Structure 1
Amino acid sequence: MSAALLEATDLRKSWAARGRSVVALKEVNLTVAPGETLGLVGRSGCGKSTLARVLTRLTPPQSGAIRFRGEDWLALSGAALRTARRHMQMVFQDPLGAFNPRATVAGALADPLRIHDLVPPARRAARIDELLERVGLTADYARRSILELSGGQRQRVAIARALACEPSLIVLDEAVSALDVSVRARILDLLVDLQREHGLAYIFVSHDLAAVKAVSHRIAVMEAGEIVEEGPTDAVVDHPQSPAARALIAAVPRLIREKP
């Protein structure tokens, strides 16, 4: 495996709730290689979304270390952090909540191009058309309001916005769970195609093991704030070692297939 693109060590995070401390992450360790997809699975409340937010610096950890692209990710601040942020993007479960509802598609895609000064103003419209085409939408979508789009279309725009930053890693937090089955399959196919073409790495966070299996090279299983099992996707699915992994697989019996 290539040298790690992202390496997290001993991450801890607690929340105060009803007068007591709730541990969300317990000394979590993980790595992601360039061009790899790590599937992060577990039942609701296991800590996987908290981990996603800590990795993307939307939430600070209590302790631990993160190295991203060879840098101390938690030590960056100010202009250095703004510059580095474009290399790690996040796509959320609720694509509508991730956008200004008054924005047009063009406005949503222009923001990262402007903020990170990725293309000159005269090139932005053409770059927006390229991004829309890349996620399977035609250029005329640029004029539409975010509110006019379906859930699947909004999620494609969210992916296009992440791609606008030319990232090395995209963290997808339940990014397909709100979509119907046919739309979900098309988004998963899109993610695989984009990875092949651009060498992207993904952290794919989901409680849906079938979706994770479709896109991931490795799977990490979380339970009660800890990674309790990790390994190549087929190994975890075919020979789960932890009770948490076995419970997830039992909930999706079609994943258990007979060997030829």
Structure 2
Amino acid sequence: MTILDKIVARKAIEVAEAKARISIEALSKETLFSRKTNSLKAALLADGSSGIIAEHKRKSPSKGIINDQLSVAFVTQGYAAAGAAGLSVLTDADFFGGAKEDLLQAREANLSTSILRKDFMIDTYQLYEAKAWGADVILLIAACLSPEQIQLLSATAHELGLEVLLEIHDEEELNRSPLGNVDIIGVNNRNLKNFAENNVNASLGLTDKIPDGIVKISESCISQPDTIRLLRSAGFKGFLIGETFMKDENPGAKLADFIAEI
């Protein structure tokens, strides 16, 4: 069983428990559910955009604890002030140390910045959670979803006014994924089944395969401004980065310095 298999198995249990605690109807009545969402796609395409989607991440299965000492508000406000095009907030508890409260706090601290709920989405129920917690964008990971699941989840997300970021790692995942309701395609440079890679070759290899009209971003294994320049020259509009900034005692300041070097 891969790490991804373990995460998805645990997620199925979490979703079942959540459904038993609060209904979709109740989620739909939450205050944030009716808010107008912010477009990450538009932010990435805007003139002068940094393209950086800066992530709040306490830990990961491959790195262990990265930084669990800073408040979500401090980190995300720092990112937004530094010029992040969008924010990514982990809500997976067991493997990444995230929580529902992290997304709620990020939303409260950043009303006009687009926020991605970063989690392993396997059920439409989680989309209602994302909307109720203040997310603007949801992540669908092709490696753990069937084409039918991608179609259902992406269509439901659009019905709820949420944008869809589809994450792929290779051409096989791209080719089998229905893209009709996908706003952004993210190439994860790290294979989630083994967390082994440490370069952006996956992104560079897929850049010409991704259909025109879908914004493409590169995720993971990005730590140098030179890498951003390389990826931009290959047509990427966004760059999801977490660990590089979270390792610092002031992630926002680290991002500001990073953007200044690009």
Say yes or no: TM over 0.5.
no
Q: TM-score with structure 2 length normalisation?
A: 0.33
Name the structure where strand makes up a greater proportion of residues. Answer: 1
